[in-house]
Chains A and B, each alone.
Chain A
């Protein structure tokens, strides 16, 4: 990717990211599909970076998916978010870190609305009190969990065991970075690097030795579209969006995709499977797909964590080609073992997509 012009844009879009004492809030989608990623995030912060991170079992969904599929009124969502802030205030924290991009976007939007319409914030305070007898303070710092890893990307690089470099030829791995739409499309100034050329994942990739691919549809949505995926009759929309991206990135021969939104890695992973099953088409070489990762997984890999302990066996597009290229030592026999080492059987191999 050519950086000259983008560096100016990146300088314009910098944000304050708290240094420590994080109040962590989990994501419905990431927990469901990639729970190992959240575990890896907590481990990196606590064990590698010696940061203080707190979470409570009492937090719930922000209702974001319900709100964006239009079955939850804005007033309800704002009051649920106010309750989340109340739990943070109650625990004595000020730095709010959501794992979800939909949540991050919604919190950002709500804080902006309250800033512009203080009468709405007053109404929400009244409703929260009426419903729960709770009060709240707004976060002093709101950062997505990918912002936190971005902030400490050089610290991670300094203790890394592996790099995003092809072990055989010494060249940087070619990486597609995919940013969740709600990270900064609504409020570019709230995302590292803005909305057109976000830097949050690019920064990580560069610090860890990789090279980012600039391809035409890099800002196109993965296709979640909320109701467009939830309802079976609409899923062609979701598939169509991901397919457009794959076709656009394919000529650049990416080694991998890195994402910062909980839903995107799942869609970019699963739709490659569907396209291969229905059309016999794969987007990597020799029947391989393009492996898709969360940023926590990539951080875990460069830090030398066991791929099967961070959840890479949950991806339909196998991660092994990237492990091989990076020279990561791993035990293929342990891929499908449960917590106590018991063999859980192997998933059925797809018809076209190469499987391990």
Chain B
């Protein structure tokens, strides 16, 4: 029961996502990622159905599993009720569990996702908060966001938000007792353990690649994986 396919079988997302794929390709036809990347969910499902651990290991170490946007358009259209998007979630989970994610350019990006979104959840109680969306890292946000960024308090209060205030409302400070409960949930359910694995495997990879890494977000390794695009992902 230690094989990779067997490990996938233990994930309820995998169980719900793949019963019997007839390889019709409907998922690929509707998939936004298949249109943009060298990605084909039909082929991915076919590889999984071989139950061949060697092929599954190659998949777990590849860029392929990181192309999906998890929009779940595939679920609506699959004539057999499969959800390749759910299979992808299970594959990504296993890739991180085993440290295989650092073997691909797209997989390595998980460290910055963890340090941006993961840290925000634990520190503020929000996945995203305005202060996180800096104009330097998000030039696409435009000139209005830049103006907004310089006047958050005045603008948000005008619009009825409770920006960094106590009590209910949009953009409030989430009470410490609530953050403590979230932290405790992460500890009990394996959230912190996954964070540690992402950190440990990434630091090992940074060393291998000869890039400096520390606990910040703007160290050379993080900035490299955040910005680097080899250009080898699209047809």
- Taking Cβ atoms with an 8 Å cutoff, the residues of A that contact B are 26, 28-32, 35-36, 38-39, 42-43, 55-61, 63-66, 68-76, 78-80, 83, 105, 113, 116-117, 120, 127-128, 130-132, 134, 181-182, 185-186, 188, 195-196, 219-221, 223-228, 230-237, 239-241, 244, 270-271, 273-274, 308-311, 313-316, 336-340, 342, 344-350
- A–B complex contacts, Cβ < 8 Å, 28 sampled: A28-B126, A36-B160, A38-B170, A39-B170, A55-B168, A57-B167, A57-B172, A58-B175, A60-B125, A61-B121, A71-B114, A74-B89, A80-B185, A83-B182, A120-B12, A132-B181, A186-B83, A221-B69, A225-B32, A231-B225, A233-B226, A234-B109, A234-B229, A237-B69, A270-B140, A310-B159, A338-B158, A339-B155
Within 8 A of A (CB), among B134-190: 137, 140-148, 151, 154-161, 166-175, 177-179, 181-182, 184-190
Q: Is the CB of B129 within 8 A of A32?
A: yes
Is B112 in the interface zone, CB < 8 Å from A?
yes
| Chain A residues closer than 8 Å to B156, beta-carbon distance | 35
Is B194 in the interface zone, CB < 8 Å from A?
yes
Known: A57-B174, A60-B178, A76-B189. A68 touches B151 (CB 8 A): no
CA distance A257 to B73 in the complex (A): 21
Residue picked from A31, A116, A134, A221, most chain B C-beta under 10 Å? A31
Is B3 in the interface zone, CB < 8 Å from A?
no
Chain A to chain B: the 6 pairs with minimum beta-carbon distance, closest first: A225-B69, A39-B160, A338-B154, A76-B191, A347-B147, A36-B159
| Chain B residues closer than 8 Å to A120, beta-carbon distance | 12
- Taking Cβ atoms with an 8 Å cutoff, the residues of B that contact A are 12-13, 16, 32-33, 35-37, 66, 68-73, 75-76, 83, 89, 92-93, 96, 106, 109-110, 112-114, 116-118, 121, 125-130, 133, 137, 140-148, 151, 154-161, 166-175, 177-179, 181-182, 184-191, 194-195, 198, 225-229, 234
| Chain B residues closer than 8 Å to A270, beta-carbon distance | 140-142, 145
Other than the given A58-B178, A225-B71, 7 more pairs (CB < 8 A) read A28-B127, A61-B121, A113-B12, A131-B185, A240-B36, A308-B158, A339-B158
Q: Is the CB of A131 within 8 A of B142?
A: no
CA distance A93 to B35 in the complex (A): 44
| Chain B residues closer than 8 Å to A29, beta-carbon distance | 127-128
Q: How far is the CB of B110 from the nearest CB of chain A, in Å?
A: 6
| Chain B residues closer than 8 Å to A227, beta-carbon distance | 66, 109-110, 113
CA distance A79 to B76 in the complex (A): 27
| Chain B residues closer than 8 Å to A316, beta-carbon distance | 142-145
Number of A-B contacts (CB under 8 A): 276
Q: Is the CB of B172 within 8 A of A35?
A: no
Q: Is the CB of B185 within 8 A of A185?
A: no
CA distance A64 to B126 in the complex (A): 10
Q: Is the CB of B117 within 8 A of A71?
A: yes
Known: A61-B126, A131-B184, A132-B185. A70 touches B113 (CB 8 A): yes
CA distance A274 to B143 in the complex (A): 11
Q: Is the CB of B76 within 8 A of A195?
A: yes
Q: Is the CB of B75 within 8 A of A228?
A: no
Known: A233-B227, A240-B36, A342-B154. A73 touches B189 (CB 8 A): yes
| Chain A residues closer than 8 Å to B36, beta-carbon distance | 236-237, 240-241
Q: Is the CB of A73 within 8 A of B190?
A: yes
Q: Is the CB of B159 within 8 A of A35?
A: yes
| Chain A residues closer than 8 Å to B96, beta-carbon distance | 70
Q: Is the CB of A35 within 8 A of B160?
A: yes
Q: How far is the CB of A304 from the nearest CB of chain B, in Å?
A: 17
Q: How far is the CB of B132 from the nearest CB of chain A, in Å?
A: 8
- Select B109's contact among A105, A233, A338, A349, beta carbons within 8 Å: A233
Q: Is the CB of B109 within 8 A of A64?
A: no
CA distance A267 to B155 in the complex (A): 21
Q: How far is the CB of B85 from the nearest CB of chain A, in Å?
A: 9
The chain A residue with its CB closest to the CB of B195 is A71
Known: A32-B128, A273-B142. A70 touches B93 (CB 8 A): yes
Q: Is the CB of B13 within 8 A of A74?
A: yes
Q: How far is the CB of B201 from the nearest CB of chain A, in Å?
A: 13
Q: Is the CB of B110 within 8 A of A71?
A: yes
The chain B residue with its CB closest to the CB of A274 is B140
The chain B residue with its CB closest to the CB of A68 is B70
| Chain A residues closer than 8 Å to B13, beta-carbon distance | 74
Residue picked from B125, B129, B185, most chain A C-beta under 10 Å? B185
CA distance A73 to B156 in the complex (A): 33
Q: Is the CB of A64 within 8 A of B127?
A: yes
Q: Is the CB of B33 within 8 A of A225?
A: yes
Q: Is the CB of B143 within 8 A of A349?
A: yes
